[in-house]
């Protein structure tokens, strides 16, 4: 008796995993000037690029945009497929990868970001947008706008505040002539000196940059862990470094470079390096070490394929010149002609004659 085989039930869709969050300052950034989302936003693209573009468009700002993280959350495609799709989306005008400076003063670092636009833009639009982003001041350095309806003169903090009526000095009354003569004849005894009493708690002294740099060495490498007493002892030597124009990053790299496998005495090892690797003194005419100049501001475009940095106008379609140069496909060679018909018996006879001994 034949048994009926009903079609199996559809599998329940797998629960969507949470998106990968990038480190602060990195990840996705949404570009301005986009139209509202529609169902046919990426309809003209191939299936793979359309699938990945739809996923990228739904990600919030700050999501990880590196190839490994995207491939881990896109089961149908691997890292090579994701890399090719990102390159195609960059050429289509939907994304640009950049490196920009984040921070202020000596605490500046390079971060990688990916600007995404649902609406495709041409190279001129991306160049103007990235140049404006690079020249825009950082949020830390931007002045705070005045409150609406407030007078600028009243919002500014005066250098010297007028005394309040409660603390205003009382007018000095002139004593009468008789009282003045009596005080002159019999002066009042001097009040005993009372030692000054502490009326307020002493504010803690902020540690110097040299002390903080020494304290952070142990966090950079556990072989250079210093105690509070060690930091106070080495603080004058470290202060000499900072007096010669060294920042905290250079200080940590110089002392932690090429460490041996084991450091028996961290304080002695650091003291020796502070003396031996003391940087040269810069004269007043010498330029102070500063952040390297960035063409076009604090932002560099990055090749979507190989990651090579450059000015935005030097990377059209988000690609550098080597990656933009397409390698022509090798045309298949024409099939070789069949060998000419040869007399096998005559060939064997010749071979035998060559091997025959004289």
Domain segments of the chain as ranges: 27-135, 209-276
pLDDT beneath 70, residues of the chain: 1-18, 103-107, 137-204, 282-298, 326-340, 357-358
For residues 86 and 49, what is the distance between their CA atoms, to the nearest angstrom?
A: 8
User: What pLDDT, on the 0 to 100 scale, is given for residue 226?
Assistant: 92
For 84, 91, 96, 99, 349, the CA distances from 305, given in Å and listed in that order, are 8, 11, 11, 14, 62
pLDDT score recorded for residue 79: 93
Token readout for 272 is 């020796």
Question: What is the dihedral angle through the alpha carbons of 283, 288, 292, 295, rounded to the nearest 10 degrees?
Answer: -90
In angstroms, the CA 123 to CA 128 distance is: 9
What pLDDT is recorded for position 326? 58
Look at residue 155 in the predicted model and tell me its pLDDT. 38
Structure confidence at residue 292 (pLDDT): 44
- The CATH label, of 1.10.860, 1.10.10, 1.10.4160, 2.20.28, for the domain at 27-135 is 1.10.10
Beta strands in 158-259 (DSSP E): none
DSSP-assigned states of every residue in 286-335: SPPP-PPP-TTSSEEEE-TTT--EE-GGGSGGG--HHHHSPPPPPPPPPP
Cα(155)–Cα(141) distance, rounded to whole angstroms? Answer: 19
Edge-to-edge strand list for the sheet holding 299-302: 27-30, 107-116, 95-104, 299-302, 309-310
Give the per-residue pLDDT at 271: 92
Going from the C-alpha of 352 to that of each of 112, 221, 342, 347, the distances in angstroms are: 73, 78, 17, 9
Q: What is the pLDDT of residue 87?
A: 93
Q: What is the pTM of this model?
A: 0.46
Q: What pLDDT, on a 0 to 100 scale, did the predictor assign at position 307?
A: 86
pLDDT recorded at residue 158: 39
pLDDT (0 to 100) of residue 106: 61
């Amino acid at each position: 008796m034949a048994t009926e085989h009903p079609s199996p039930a559809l599998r329940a869709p797998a629960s969507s995993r949470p998106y990968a969050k990038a480190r602060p300052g990195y990840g996705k950034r949404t570009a301005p000037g986009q139209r509202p989302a529609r169902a046919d936003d990426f309809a003209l693209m191939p299936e793979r690029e359309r699938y990945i573009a739809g996923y990228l468009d739904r990600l919030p700002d700050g999501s990880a945009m590196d190839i490994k993280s995207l491939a881990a959350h896109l089961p149908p495609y691997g890292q090579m497929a994701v890399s090719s799709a990102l390159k195609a989306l960059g050429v289509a005008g939907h994304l640009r990868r950049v490196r920009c400076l984040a921070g202020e003063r000596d605490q500046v670092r390079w971060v990688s970001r990916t600007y995404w636009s649902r609406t495709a833009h041409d190279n001129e639009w991306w160049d103007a947008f990235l140049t404006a982003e690079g020249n825009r001041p950082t949020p830390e350095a931007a002045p705070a706008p005045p409150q609406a309806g407030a007078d600028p003169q009243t919002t500014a903090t005066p250098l010297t505040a007028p005394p309040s009526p409660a603390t205003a000095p009382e007018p000095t009354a002139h004593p009468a002539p008789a009282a003045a003569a009596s005080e002159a004849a019999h002066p009042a005894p001097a009040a005993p000196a009372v030692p000054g009493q502490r009326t307020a708690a002493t504010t803690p002294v902020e540690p110097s940059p040299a002390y903080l740099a020494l304290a952070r060495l142990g966090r950079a490498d556990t072989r250079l862990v210093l105690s509070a007493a060690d930091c106070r002892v080495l603080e004058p030597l470290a202060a000499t470094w900072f007096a010669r124009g060294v920042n905290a990053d250079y200080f940590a790299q110089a002392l932690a470079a090429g460490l041996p496998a084991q450091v028996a005495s961290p304080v002695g090892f650091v003291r020796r390096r502070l003396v031996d690797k003391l940087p040269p003194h810069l004269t007043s005419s010498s330029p102070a070490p500063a952040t390297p100049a960035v063409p076009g501001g604090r932002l560099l475009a990055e090749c979507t394929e190989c990651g090579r940095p450059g000015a935005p106008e030097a990377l059209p379609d988000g690609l550098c010149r080597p990656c933009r140069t397409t390698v022509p496909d090798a045309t298949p060679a024409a099939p070789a002609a069949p060998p000419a018909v040869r007399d096998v018996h005559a060939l064997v006879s010749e071979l035998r004659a060559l091997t025959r001994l004289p």
